[in-house]
Structure 1
Amino acid sequence: MTNSIAIDGPAGAGKSTIAKLLAKELSYIYVDTGAMYRAMAIYFNENKVDPDDEAAVSKACENVNIDIEYKDGVQQVILNGTNVTHLLREEATGKMASKTSKYRAVRTKLVDLQRELARKNAVIMDGRDIGSVVLKDAFLKIFLTASSDARAKRRYDELIAKGEVADFEVIKKDIEDRDYQDSHREISPLKQAEDAVLVDSSNMTIEEVVAHIKNLIDQRKLF
């Protein structure tokens, strides 16, 4: 996992956007951890696993293998040898993922699979606990954050651009509530790893954040 890059941070900090751009520029594999939870959900649905039966869900996890490949620059999610990318966004998949992602066995299984991906490939992974739990020995750990005002403004502008009605204060409150929940959850709470580099993007453009992290990577390679 020495070639891996971990990007953690609160909701709305731009982790996925930055991670995808970096992966493309550096020829790394971007690991979409959310897609992996959905792939697990597809297996549960296909095998009629009751999402309310934690024991059954835990048992089913033993039979799942998930890999990530890229074809023409587009991520493909492989479940037990079958490409299930086209099923990831189905409503049934989302519902099952929402119900089962809370179970410790699902979390443990996916962490193992994510680590295996990092052992086989140079990866960039983003989330809430990648540097602190999943990839503890990553080559570089970034804790990407921004003020709640900056994150709310980005989300507000995004919704307005789509022609949707938006309330800045409501969005900001939702973000602050999410921050509290993520940092106080029982399993793998959001926190900055001790050896992670803090990057505050409040007053930075996407391009500036990418350039800054690439510079951090170059500096790290010098030592």
Structure 2
Amino acid sequence: MNSASSDSSFIPVLTIDGPSGSGKGTISRLVAQRLGWHYLDSGALYRAVGVAAGWADLDLADPAALVRCAFDTQIGFREQAGELRVLVNGVDATDELRTETAGAAASAIAAIPEVRAALKDRQRAFRRAPGLVADGRDMGTVIFPDAPFKVFLTASAEERAERRYKQLKDKGVSVTLDGLLREILARDARDAQRAVAPLRPAEEAVRIDTTGLGIDAVVDQVLALLPAR
């Protein structure tokens, strides 16, 4: 069924938007598990296109080539050992999608209106019964503006950099905290200033500052916003 159909509008959606490192990915997955709903990691779609563009040696300054890449790239998801794996053109690219290079590419191509348009229907197709938790930067403002439940997570840039630093060090990736902080601040600026779908909370979104909060505490705050299940 097309997600734009009238029937799908009755399927509840919880959007969780926020900047990089705010915890929206972790929180969204856990909330979806608790609710028994489907989960959309919209950032993975943009990262997948960025990775595919890199494999094809495309110029990130060539919008036409990137739009073709967005339409042509096959993106799939599968559960493996309790983890969501991402397939790009049939290849498991999950680890590559998590790199800072993939994140920077995703941020760059996300600023191209035609790329965002190419991925819009893919994202809306995730709206399936019994419900959807959608994580991203414009879920509540652009992709699911009619969502009945909207959250915007924030955290200080310093804390977000520290979280990312710990994640990457645990994976054996060599990074510096100062370098990550600069990258996060630069990405925040790009995401907030882009002409199309800039990063901002929906007017009706509930804002939650996750600075200094544990994961369970944030999950509980989000779930408390929904009617008794």
- Give the TM-score range, shorter chain: 0.7 to 0.9
Structure 1 residue 122 corresponds to structure 2 residue 107: no
Q: Which has the higher helix share?
A: 1
Aligned to 1:201: 210
CA distance in 2, matches of 1:141, 1:119: 17
CA distance in 2, matches of 1:179, 1:203: 20
Structure 1: segments with no counterpart, 5+ residues: none
Structure 1 residue 187 corresponds to structure 2 residue 191: no
Structure 1 residue 166 corresponds to structure 2 residue 173: no
CA distance in 2, matches of 1:208, 1:110: 32
SS of 1:203 mapped into structure 2 = coil
CA distance in 2, matches of 1:160, 1:120: 38
Structure 1 residue 8 corresponds to structure 2 residue 4: no
Structure 1 residue 177 corresponds to structure 2 residue 200: no
Map 1:24-39 → 2, pairs under 5 A: 24-37=33-46
Aligned mate of 1:215, from 201, 224, 229: 224
Alpha-carbon shift at residue 27 of structure 1 (Å) = 1.6
Task: Summarize deviations over 1:163-207 as a string: whole Å, max 9, x none.
Answer: 856345x54343333222211112211001001000011121111
CA distance in 2, matches of 1:156, 1:45: 24
CA distance in 1, matches of 2:12, 2:111: 29
Aligned to 1:148: 157
Aligned to 2:145: 136
CA distance in 1, matches of 2:181, 2:54: 35
CA distance in 2, matches of 1:42, 1:151: 23
Distance 1:150 1:36, change over 3 A: closer
Aligned to 2:6: none
> Which one-letter code corresponds to 1:110 in the other structure?
L
Question: What TM-score do you get using the length of structure 1 for normalisation?
Answer: 0.73
Distance 1:132 1:158, change over 3 A: same
CA distance in 2, matches of 1:18, 1:56: 34
Aligned mate of 1:105, from 114, 122, 144: 114
Q: Kindly, what percent of the aligned residue pairs are identical?
A: 33
Structure 1 residue 23 corresponds to structure 2 residue 70: no
Aligned to 2:5: none
Alpha-carbon shift at residue 23 of structure 1 (Å) = 1.6
CA distance in 2, matches of 1:35, 1:156: 20
CA distance in 2, matches of 1:175, 1:16: 16
> Which one-letter code corresponds to 1:10 in the other structure?
P
> Which one-letter code corresponds to 2:22 in the other structure?
A
Distance 1:73 1:150, change over 3 A: closer
Distance 1:185 1:86, change over 3 A: closer
CA distance in 2, matches of 1:132, 1:101: 15
Deviates more, 1:116-125 or 1:24-33: 116-125
Task: Summarize deviations over 1:131-162 as a string: whole Å, max 9, x none.
Answer: 11111111311000012232233334445655
> Which one-letter code corresponds to 1:166 in the other structure?
T
Deviates more, 1:195-204 or 1:151-160: 151-160
CA distance in 2, matches of 1:10, 1:44: 23
